[in-house]
Amino acid sequence: MKSPHLNKYIRVAIVAGVLPLTTVANPQVAIAASSDTKTPATEALSLQSLPALYEERIAKLEIEIRKKSEQRTVLINQIDQLINAISALEDESLNAVKSSTPVTDSVTQINREVETLEKELLQTDTLLKKLQNSVASQPELSIWKAALGTPDTKTHQHLLATQSYLMHTAVKHQTQLQDKRALLEKRQLSLIKYQQDIDKSIGERQSHIDTLLEQREKLEQQLVEISAQIVSGQDRISSLTRKSQQSLSTAHFSKHGKPLRDPVEGTVIKRFSEPKAKGLLKWQGVLVEAPLGLPFTSVSDGLVVFADQLQGLGNVAIIDHGQGYMTLYGMAELLVVEKDQLVLAGDPVGTVGKSVGTDASALYFEVRHNAEALDPQDWLEMRQIAEKGTR
């Protein structure tokens, strides 16, 4: 269905004798009609309103910069707090590591003492077994019998008392050693548990440090981005200030000089004057392949004279830059500008849509002077736009 705006332009152009009756739904029609139907009042609106628009944009940018400066200050304070928190945790971890050294040494010493006790217990156990065997067989009495005959009762009692004392002493020593080993092992377990607690606390602190480092990295990235936005905004203010101080005659597209800023980042897949599919027609602009939904922007200051649908190009925006220069942005997924809206270079116009007749997403872009198609690549920076096969 034809746009009512386009129908109006076509009717005016037909009445004026500019267009034949058979011409329909062609971007040349819209641009030619826009050029031919433009009145002095429209031209005055485009030129005389720009200084006020510059001032309005400067005021908005200054507000945005103040807000971003406040955000930057908050980020810097948050980063400083994180740095202090990280430093404190690192000091705590270092102290914990230092405190764990004596514990390790104590555990090692206890291990040595336990090993020594194990040897003493083994010796005591061996002695006990000998004494037990001695009491059971009483070899000493046999020796006395062999040497002295039958020992007297006192001697026999003395030997039995001696054996009993030695056994009692050995058992007592063994019990003491076992008690001491139990205490050492209990102390050892306590120290090991303490060491594990220290290791756990060190691990938890390190995990906390890692989390804080991630937060710090994110905040620093935000700080870089906001700082870049502030610088960009300040540069934009400087540019707008210079423009606002220039005479109206220098605000035209033609006076901006070449190159103009690229409308989108992408790759040229159809060049100017390249034959179309059937070879009967040629491309009047360039087709730039770009991600679906990617914003595209105005290449220069101007007045939106058309923002609607065109058969074969989908959603189309046409911007009048003065002195007969116009740009066309086609195949848009959606447009964010309206007819009679003033825009500045870099302002969003719409988002990239599906290329008509293909599965690719692309922006169709034209540059015209007095309705004559010009090669856009002669006017654009071509910094964000690459030739096909160069990416």
For every residue of 287-344, DSSP letters joined together read: EEE--TT-EEE-SS-EEEEEEEEETTTEEEEEEEEETTEEEEEEEEEEE---TT-EE-
- Structural domains in the chain? 72-227 (1.10.287.2610), 252-387 (2.70.70.10)
pLDDT for residue 69? 95
Enter the pTM of the model.
0.54
Least confident range of 213-217, 236-240, 265-269: 236-240
Backbone angles phi and psi of 114, in degrees to 5: -65, -40
CA distance 90 to 211: 13
The three-class DSSP label of residue 127 is helix
Q: What is the pLDDT of residues 145-200, one digit of tens each?
A: 555 555 556 666 666 676 676 666 667 666 766 777 677 777 777 777 777 887 88
Q: What is the pLDDT of residues 68-118, one digit of tens each?
A: 999 999 999 999 999 999 999 888 888 877 776 676 666 677 677 767 767
Q: What is the mean pLDDT of residues 3-19?
A: 35
Least confident range of 7-11, 158-162, 269-273, 364-368: 7-11
Q: What percentage of residues in the chain have a pLDDT greater than 90?
A: 35
pLDDT for residue 167? 67
CA distance 244 to 260: 19
